[in-house]
């Protein structure tokens, strides 16, 4: 599945470089028009992130996000500042198809496990964004990638597999915004080791060839942000590429 992405900061559509809020590029595009353009080109879902909320939950762009969700012609999965059960319930009631849990999934896995049980695993996406430390261990930062936790990616995947999670969004932070290709070794390991999970790959996708290669790792979806905003290809072209890569004739 192709998941076109929009990140919002102070009401603008932006892309950060490796999660650094100081290194942002602002795009002169209307967020709602862009979302509906992606849907018109064939996207079933749009991936929307409130970067203000991700950094500080008290600064959520709630009114802007509500307007986008209510007027998007497709399904929306939403992340950024979703830290409490009230947040989860609010957005699901508003019509969000899936909510993305990031920092809380790392800090309070027992709490999030209860949300998965209550709201269903199809409504919850766990954002386990990661980078390799000096010892080549994939660790998990929090708070808009600003703070390092004590959890490793493997620790969290082991736990959430046991409690029945379905959707895992994994961004290799070192690839995010770089357009240098996805970390296919990381996604291949995840899909082979945790075969019951649906992995969403994010970070570094620049070409249609990158989509073909990451699809071969076994991921369920790929998130595309900068490559679409900078017209490397269209959503329609990306969907065709994904479908061709998954067809029996291409294997």
Work out the pLDDT band at 174, boundaries 50, 70, 90.
Answer: confident
The catalytic residue positions are 7, 129
For residue 221, what pLDDT is reported? 96
Per-residue pLDDT band for 143 (boundaries 50, 70, 90) equals low
Task: Examine the pLDDT at 154 and tell me if it is beyond 70.
Answer: yes
**Integer Cα distance of 159 and 170 in angstroms:** 15
Q: What is the mean pLDDT of residues 234-238?
A: 97
Model confidence, pTM: 0.88
Domain boundaries, the chain: 2-250
Reported CATH class of domain 2-250: alpha beta
pLDDT, tens only, 120-138: 999 999 999 888 765 677 7
Q: How far is CA 121 from CA 45, 81, 106, 118, 212, in A?
A: 17, 19, 17, 9, 27
Residues making up the chain, counted from first to last: 251
Query: By C-alpha distance, which of 171, 182, 221 is closest to 49?
Result: 171
């Amino acid at each position: 599945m192709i998941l076109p992405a929009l990140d919002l900061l102070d009401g603008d559509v932006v892309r950060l470089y490796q999660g650094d809020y100081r290194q942002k590029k602002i795009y002169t595009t209307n967020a709602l028009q862009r979302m509906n353009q992606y849907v018109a080109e064939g996207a079933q879902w749009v991936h929307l992130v409130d970067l203000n909320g991700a950094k500080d939950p008290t600064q959520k762009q709630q009114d802007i996000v509500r307007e986008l969700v209510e007027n998007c012609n497709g399904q929306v999965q939403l992340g950024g500042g979703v830290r409490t059960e009230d947040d989860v319930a609010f957005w699901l009631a508003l019509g969000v198809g899936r909510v993305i849990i990031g920092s809380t999934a790392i800090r309070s896995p027992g709490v999030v496990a209860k949300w998965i049980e209550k709201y269903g695993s199809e409504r919850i996406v766990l954002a386990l964004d990661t980078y390799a430390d000096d010892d080549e261990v994939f660790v998990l930062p929090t708070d808009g990638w600003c703070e390092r936790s004590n959890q490793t990616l493997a620790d969290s995947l082991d736990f959430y597999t046991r409690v029945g999670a379905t959707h895992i969004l994994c961004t290799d932070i070192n690839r995010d915004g770089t357009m240098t290709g996805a970390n296919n070794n990381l996604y291949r390991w995840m899909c082979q080791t945790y075969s019951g999970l649906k992995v969403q790959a994010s970070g570094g996708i620049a070409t249609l060839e990158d989509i073909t290669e990451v699809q071969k790792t076994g991921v369920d979806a790929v998130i595309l942000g900068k490559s679409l905003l900078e017209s490397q290809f269209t959503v329609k072209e990306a969907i065709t590429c994904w479908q061709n890569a998954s067809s029996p004739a291409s294997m």
